[in-house]
């Protein structure tokens, strides 16, 4: 083909111009074809989504009508209204419990009522004291153990040291946990949950 172009009397060779132009025309046609296909797919998708949405609305309306008819037959209370009423009652109840208890002194000063917190601290202190008494009793029993044979006494001493070490670790863990943990109460609803500390 190019040799035919050369033999004609033209100032430029046509073989270098036509193929690139033809490929551009093909690219333009291909782009147009792809865009038309994409447009058709998009319109089909939009129509499908609209149809599915209408079907969903129709299904929910039919279900609501069926529930209303069932309620009318049973002459019962509407469950949605009942749930809303329970939610409102619960909200009112929590607002009442969030109010802090106060005491008025003889001088007329208003002070917070910390009796619940004091009782909680007292219970912790008593539990700590009981743990201390238990560890002391165990240590006394270990010290009073008879020493019959030197080999058995060495083994018994090692076991006693291990038990004492374990009890000390447990005791430290209990005291640090009881000191660091702030319990969630009605007066202190914003206390951190010990499980969520990490």
Tell me the pLDDT tens digit for each residue of 61-74.
999 999 888 877 76
The model's pTM: 0.28
- Number of alpha carbons in the 13 Å side-chain half-sphere of residue 57: 6
CA distance 117 to 120: 5
Per-residue pLDDT tens over the stretch 65-102: 998 888 777 666 667 777 888 888 888 876 665 566 67
Q: What is the pLDDT of residue 111?
A: 72
**Cα–Cα dist 36/44, whole Å:** 12
pLDDT the model gives residue 28? 95
pLDDT at residue 146, rounded to an integer: 56
């Amino acid at each position: 083909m190019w040799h035919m172009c050369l033999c004609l009397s033209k100032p430029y060779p046509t073989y270098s111009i036509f193929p690139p132009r033809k490929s551009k025309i093909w690219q333009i046609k291909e782009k147009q074809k792809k865009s038309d296909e994409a447009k058709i797919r998009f319109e089909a998708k939009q129509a499908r989504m609209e149809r599915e949405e209408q079907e969903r609305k129709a299904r929910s309306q039919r279900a609501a009508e069926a529930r209303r008819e069932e309620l009318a037959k049973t002459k019962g209370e509407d469950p949605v209204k009942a749930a809303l009423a329970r939610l409102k009652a619960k909200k009112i109840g929590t607002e009442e419990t969030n109010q802090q208890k106060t005491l008025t002194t003889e001088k007329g000063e208003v002070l917070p009522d910390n009796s619940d917190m004091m009782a909680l601290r007292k219970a912790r202190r008593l539990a700590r004291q009981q743990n201390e008494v238990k560890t002391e009793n165990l240590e006394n029993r270990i010290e009073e153990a008879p020493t019959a044979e030197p080999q058995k006494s060495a083994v018994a001493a090692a076991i006693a040291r291990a038990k004492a070490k374990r009890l000390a670790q447990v005791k430290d863990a209990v005291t640090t946990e009881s000191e660091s943990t702030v319990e969630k109460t009605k007066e202190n609803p914003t206390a951190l949950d010990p499980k969520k500390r990490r």
